[in-house]
Structure 1
Amino acid sequence: MIRNVLVVILCVLFGLNAPAQEKINKLDSISPISFLSTTYTGDTTAVPLVLENPLFYNYNFTYKKRLDSIQREIPLTYNESVQRYIDVYAGRKEMMGKMLGLSEYYFPIFENALKAFSVPAELKYLPIIESSMNSHAISRVGATGLWQFMFTTAKGYGLNMDNFVDERKDPIQASYAAARYFKDAYAELGDWLLAIAAYNCGTGNVNRAIAKAHSRDFWAIRPFLPMETRNYVPAFIAAIYVMNCPDKHQIMSQKSLFAIKTDTIQVSRYVSLTELAQALAMQEEDLCTLNPSYKKKIVNGSPELPKRIIMPKVSLASFASIYEVLNDHTVEVSPQIIQASNDDRRIRTKHREVAEDRPAVVYHKVSAGQNLTTIADQFGVEVQDLKVWNKLKGNNLVPGQKLIVSKNAGAVRHSESRSGKKYISYREKSNGLSRSSGRL
């Protein structure tokens, strides 16, 4: 009798889970990212959605033991949410194989930056779930680069964005900025899992979740965090697990472009990456991939502010032509530096919604003693505008009369004429050595 009851219970549990597991598989079928593409423009949010299940039926003591063995400074909790992301990433064998290959180049860069600010080396795994270690990754809201910095945060941590460079895409500069952020977040929150959550949703959201949960434990405040952040920390722990135990899941490291020996040089003049690639006898796209922060394929170095170029180690045979490009060639481009504007797509969406909600016409009810001149002065418009908008033939007004005192188009034109300034929009014309990024 007891045996029959157990069989029924197991059937019910696995039967109920089957549709959910099928849905997870569908959610996990994400198109592969071109990791070395410099033209990727899609959403690079790499944290897949998994379904929550209150019944943890597949607890795996082996996985927990492995996580315990690799834990250092950041707690690597094992639970159902972590297990689900382990299943996801362990199943993405090609993607994780590429991550293993890219890690040979990127991890030493990340480790140096993290060490400089005395923050845990395990944070080097975050770019896997942030950007799939793609320097050109851009999220749906405008977060950019390996560490997915938003414009304002990047500015606050010393990264420069102008018409020549976007340092959010520079692996070295962005890594030091990320390390500084983590140091500040930990100083405020006092817990590494909370600091990691803050990197995804901001310290404000984390502090509000702490207040609601009356706890400073990530797993206790997790239900009060934004959905993406709830999944972010389990995905981070799962990525650490898979990157440290690839052989346990038949994941093989894939060789990447970065598996070459490189040299770093500083230049104090303008250098064309296109011309340098020709001198190096390599693909232009590959050299740009090694130097992802230069928008126009031009390195705008100067004596006051030299710029870095990373390139493959060169032979003596090609040294003469390379020297000529670095020292004798003139790059025909305007040296004017134009600071980039905020590229947060949420701000643009909000401005657009405000503009759409703004009434097209503003009305005013005439009070006793008012005339066209006083009303025009009150609303900052011209008397003639009031006459045109209201089809008035004379200057006489009647108390209680309803007048149009503002139209959006008319107000804009008037503000331009009163200030003496004219605003025009323009599109930069690219020359042979540059390309439009569309994200200034």
Structure 2
Amino acid sequence: MISVLHKPRFRRRRLAALISFTLLINACSTLQDEIPEEPGSLSEARNQTSTANQTRRRDINRPLPTAEQATPLSEAEIAFRDSIWSRISEGMQFYHRHYNDDIQEAIDWFVENPDYLTEVSERATPFIFEITDEIERRGLPMELALLPVVESAFRPEARSRANAAGLWQFMAPTARSMGLKRDWWYDGRHDPIASTSAALDYLERLYQQFDQDWLLALAAYNAGQGNVSRALSRNQQRGQNSDFWSLALPRETRRHVPRLLGLSYVMADPLKYGLTLSPVPDEPWLARVDVGNQIDLTLAAQLADLEPEVFYQLNPGYLQWATHPDGPHIVNLPIDRQELFESRLEDLGDQQITWDRYQIKPGDTLIAIARNYRTTVGALQQVNNISGSRIRAGDSLLIPRAYREGDLLPSIQLAADNQSPIPAGIYTVRSGDSLWGIANRYRLTVAELINWNQLSSEAILQPGQRLMLQDPALTASTNIRSSQNPDMQVTRYEVRSGDTLVRIARSHGISVDQILQWNNIRRNALIHPGQELRLYLNQ
């Protein structure tokens, strides 16, 4: 597993806005004025016994103090006490047994980068309750709930340079050995719930393999079982200690484990360090619905009254525009949308199936089939994993009957129908918003927002205030002249089901490399329906 050791540039849009809205009533802004001292020495830290650690945990059998005895709690303390982070803090089991300079360095990093934990804790909102519940059900230490912070900064779509993927940063061979499904349609490493189950299975196995030593298990999770086993054998042959701190392990692993321990110190009492976490209630946020059959994800998003981009972020295990033909067919959505989704799904009946199967006949061509079914050759090639144009009589083709935004049946009324549209590139500030939160939500920098809106770096945003989310030179219309080349026009293209970068480039007379450059995306990046691309076209 490859850990994320630097602060990433967060790429969240409407999902963050949705999360912020659902958590708004629990938000708080009061912090302690002074930051208490960090652990002073190794001996002091090791004297923090498990008994002392338990004193900050709730005892349900202890009577509540009287009004005269009780000390009023601050808003921040109340918010933390009622959040999922408090439950995680109470369930930690081993971090306090370890302390050294490497751990202190990790503590210092988190304290010096307070925005990092605020943003990561917000990103964890849809999935952290499910993860915490599963860890508690298995009786495992809650330090493990923090591992996705170290591994992926809680980004289900994350991929490392070594091609580890998902919240838990599974390498392909390990994922395969733990039973995670991976193919063209679906990658279980990116599925937050499936990958959590597999990761905990793997960690339990490593814990038993390495004599119930969590530090060795975590080291093996990061460096591989073989590397840790060989390091142990070398030390045993030399008569040296066999604890984690004594082993000659890769540099990445020697940083990885102290980083989790340092994070555990901070998350055990974030208010002590003057840190603010997203106030995630200790209650389910996510609903998981088995739709029973393959379904177009854009259609599913509309049934849940969610924007496609939000739906894709909640269901990152699906790599194409639909659930897997052979399953899984489980979709994630906010729990407050479950009833609406299931009601509309029932109204659709068999129409939730957005694919036809066609048996190829002698003389058929992809072009003719695409024309008959009002789709494209590219879509047929992509859906059926066909690299060329050859097809064989008797075989079956999957034909996408793709839904586009606005194509729902008349019987389905969207709540958004009665809302006034907001101009593209304009954001209306809500209570609790901040410049960095808006910037990260829309893949911008704070400097860009300040520049485009003529703000000061200390500006205090007001609810109802409108902010430009792109260069004012680009907001006059959807088709404008490029400031770099007066002979070019900027067009915003909305990706449709069945689109590929090659198809979009060919239909607009441009190259794939240009699209990648203009939109700052990688060559192997997936595009999905509803996504907007910026294209510079000749007049």
1:393-413: CA deviation from partner (whole Å, max 9, x where unpaired): xxxxxxxxxxxxxxxxxxxxx
Unaligned stretches of 5+ in structure 1? 1-26, 39-56, 337-423
> Could you tell me which of 330, 342, 351 is aligned with 1:328?
351
Question: For residues 91-128 of structure 1, what are the alpha-carbon distances to aligned partners after superposition, in whole Å with 9 as ceiling and x for unaligned?
Answer: 22111012333445433322343355554332111111
Relative to structure 1, is the Cα distance of residues 327 and 176 closer, same or farther in structure 2, using a 3 angstrom cutoff? same
TM-score, normalisation: structure 1: 0.60
Aligned to 1:170: 191
1:75–1:193 CA contact under 8 A, matched in 2: no
How far residue 65 of structure 1 moved from its aligned partner, in angstroms, is 6.9
Tell whether the 8 Å contact from 1:35 to 1:132 is kept in structure 2 after alignment.
no
Alignment partner for residue 240 of structure 1, among 264, 270, 277?
Answer: 264
**Aligned partners of 1:150, 1:334: CA distance in 2, in Å?**
34
Gaps of 5+ in 2: 16-38, 54-88, 360-385, 390-398, 403-495, 501-522, 527-539
Aligned equivalents of 1:28, 1:188: Cα separation in 2: 27
- Which residue of 2 is the match for residue 218 of structure 1? 244
On the 8 A contact 2:304/2:340 being kept in 1, the answer is: no
Residues 23-422 of structure 1: matches in 2 within 5 Å?
Answer: 30-34=7-11, 59=41, 69=53, 72-73=93-94, 76-115=97-136, 117-190=138-211, 191-214=213-236, 215-221=241-247, 224-254=248-278, 261-300=285-324, 305=327, 307-312=329-334, 313-314=336-337, 321-325=344-348, 327-332=350-355
> Alpha-carbon deviations, 1:270-326, whole Å to 9, x = none?
111111222333211111111110111312365xx5521122323877765443457
State the Cα distance separating 1:267 from its structure 2 match.
1.7
**Preserved contact between residue 97 and residue 252 of structure 1 (Cα < 8 Å):** yes
Query: Could you say which structure has the higher helix fraction?
Result: 1
CA separation of 1:274 and 1:211: change in aligned 2, threshold 3 A = same
Task: Tell me, yes or no, if the aligned pair for 1:136 and 1:169 is still in contact at 8 Å.
Answer: yes
Say if 1:265 and 1:309, in contact at 8 Å, map to a contact too. Answer: yes
Partner of 2:331: helix, strand, or coil?
A: strand
Distance 1:268 1:28, change over 3 A: closer
1:318–1:185: structure 2 CA closer, same or farther, 3 Å change rule?
Answer: closer
Letter of the aligned partner of 1:32 in structure 2?
R
Cα distance change, pair 63–144 in 1 and its aligned pair in 2 (3 A): same
SS at match of 1:32: coil
Distance 1:326 1:273, change over 3 A: farther
Q: 1:438 to 1:248 in 2, by over 3 A?
A: same
**1:265, distance to aligned residue in structure 2 (A):** 1.3
Deviation at 1:188, TM superposition (A): 1.4
| 3-state SS of paired residue (2:170) | coil
Displacement, 1:36? 6.7
Distance verdict in 2 for CA 1:235–1:321, change over 3 Å = same
Is residue 182–residue 195 contact of structure 1 (8 Å, CA) maintained in 2?
A: yes
Aligned mates of 1:156, 1:111 — CA distance in 2? 24
Q: Is the Cα contact below 8 Å between 2:159 and 2:165 reproduced in 1?
A: yes
User: What is the CA distance between 1:253 and its match in structure 2?
Assistant: 2.1
- Compared CA separation, residues 101 and 92, structure 1 to 2 (3 A): same
Rate the CA distance shift 1:321–1:142 in 2: closer, same or farther, 3 A: same
TM-score by length of 2: 0.49
Determine the C-alpha separation between the residues in 2 that align with 1:181 and 1:164.
Answer: 24
Q: SS of the residue aligned with 1:288?
A: helix
Structure 1 distance, partners of 2:271, 2:325, is 44
User: Do the aligned residues in 1 keep the contact of 2:315 with 2:331 (CA within 8 Å)?
Assistant: yes
Find the counterpart in structure 2 of residue 433 from structure 1: 497
* Deviation for aligned residue 1:136: 0.3
Contact 2:131 / 2:193 at 8 angstroms: preserved in 1? yes
* Distance in 2 between residues matched to 1:208 and 1:289, nearest whole Å: 40
How far off is 1:254 after superposition?
Answer: 3.1
Gap change, CA 1:315 and 1:180, over 3 Å in 2: closer
| Alpha-carbon distance between aligned partners in 2 of 1:77 and 1:110, rounded to the nearest angstrom | 24
Letter in 2 for 1:433: S
User: How far apart, CA to CA, are the structure 2 residues paired with 1:335 and 1:298?
Assistant: 18
**Match of 2:109, as an amino acid?**
V
SS state at 1:108 partner: helix
Residues 28/237 of structure 1: CA separation in 2 closer, same or farther (3 Å cut): closer
Deviation for aligned residue 1:237: 0.3
Shift of 1:189: 1.0
Distance 1:230 1:179 in 2: 21
Aligned residues: 305
Quote the sequence identity (%).
27
* 1:272 maps to amino acid: D
Deviation at 1:255, TM superposition (A): 6.3
CA change 1:28–1:130 in 2 (3 A) is closer
What is the alpha-carbon distance in structure 1 between the residues aligned to residue 342 and residue 290 of structure 2?
Answer: 16
**For the structure 1 residues 235 and 263, does the alpha-carbon distance in structure 2 shift closer, same or farther, using more than 3 Å as the test?**
same
Would the alpha carbon gap of residues 148 and 272 (structure 1) be closer, same or farther in structure 2, given more than 3 Å must change?
same
| Contact 1:168–1:293 (CA under 8 A) maintained in structure 2 | yes
Q: Deviations over 1:48-93 (max 9, x none)?
A: xxxxxxxxx9748887777962651466411100000000112221
One-letter amino acid of the counterpart of residue 91, structure 1: E
Q: Conserved in 1, the CA contact under 8 Å of 2:125 and 2:285?
A: no
**Aligned partners of 1:106 and 1:194: how far apart in 2?**
26
Instruction: Specify the alignment match of 2:465 in structure 1.
Output: none
Give secondary structure in 1 for the equivalent of 2:154: coil
Secondary structure of 1:268's aligned partner: coil
